[in-house]
């Protein structure tokens, strides 16, 4: 029985076989796209959060992003290549999801918790990308890029740890406390309603003899 092969969208003649340096350039291109988009939206995310510590961490990440973009220019100089700018759909999808939280969730512990989760997903993507770029830079002898990516990995992992610590020690307890207060408030309202109903109802008075 003959089997058919799915078309990849490109013929064999159109496909390329990039070498290590070209793969590194492609990876750095993806990182540049991700960092550019993240730098664009971080100010609005920082403005939306309630926690001052979380706002500080987002502002710190914004500064890190600006530094990364500068390091990428040095990396492209080392490669003697500056690939055309292309969008990074994977990173943009994660960043857009974080923006949706701001549009859909009321400001407070709930939004802060959702944004921590969203930013950590973006950061985990970036950590994977930096690690890949570092490995390719090591293999191809691009020492400037190796040092830059190692620094970003160090700072990225540290930020991820701080976000987790903040969530566990401040944001999640505040969220649970808020939920508990709402539940107690609902119970009080229900009790008051029941009392009022008992006083004004048709059977609230004792029968006369």
86 — pLDDT class (breaks 50, 70, 90)? confident
Residues 6+ apart with CB under 8 A from 160: 120, 123, 124, 127
Across the chain, mean pLDDT equals 86
Report the pLDDT value the prediction gives residue 57, as an integer from 0 to 100: 98
Strand (E) positions, the chain?
Answer: none
Q: Which two tokens stand for residue 103?
A: 């549009």
Region 20-180: CATH code: 1.20.1260.10
Over 60: is that where the pLDDT of 92 sits?
yes
Q: Per-residue pLDDT averaged across 182-201, rounded? A: 55
More confident residue, 180 or 173: 173
Reported as a pLDDT band with limits 50, 70 and 90, residue 3 is very low
- Give pTM, 2 decimals: 0.78
Tell me which H or E stretch contains 173.
helix 172-200
Q: What is the pLDDT of residue 153?
A: 97
Write the burial class of residue 2 (CB in 10 Å: 0-12 exposed, 13-18 middle, 19+ buried): exposed
Instruction: Please count the CA atoms within 13 angstroms of the CA of 82 that sit on its side-chain side.
Output: 6
Give the per-residue pLDDT at 193: 53
Confidence check: pLDDT of 188 > 90: no
Nearest alpha-carbon partner for 67 in 11, 148, 146: 148
- pLDDT tens digits, 152-175: 999 999 999 999 999 999 999 999
């Amino acid at each position: 029985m003959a089997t058919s092969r799915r078309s990849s969208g490109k013929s064999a003649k159109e496909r390329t076989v990039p070498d290590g340096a070209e793969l590194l350039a492609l990876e750095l291109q993806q990182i540049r796209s991700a960092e550019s988009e993240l730098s664009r939206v971080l100010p609005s995310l920082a403005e939306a959060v309630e926690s001052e510590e979380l706002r500080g961490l987002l502002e710190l990440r914004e500064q890190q992003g600006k530094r990364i973009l500068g390091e990428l220019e040095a990396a492209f100089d080392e490669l003697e290549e500056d690939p055309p700018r292309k969008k990074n759909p994977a990173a943009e999808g994660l960043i857009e999801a974080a923006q949706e939280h701001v549009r859909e969730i009321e400001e407070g512990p709930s939004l802060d918790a959702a944004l921590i989760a969203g930013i950590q997903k973006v950061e985990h993507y970036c950590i994977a990308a930096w690690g890949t770029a570092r490995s390719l830079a090591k293999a191809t002898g691009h020492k400037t890029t190796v040092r830059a990516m190692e620094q970003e990995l160090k700072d990225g992992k540290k930020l991820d740890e701080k976000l987790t610590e903040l969530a566990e020690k401040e944001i999640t307890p505040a969220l649970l406390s808020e939920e508990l207060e709402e539940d107690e408030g609902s119970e009080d309202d229900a009790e008051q309603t029941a009392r009022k109903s008992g006083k004004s109802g048709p059977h609230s008075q004792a029968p006369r003899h």
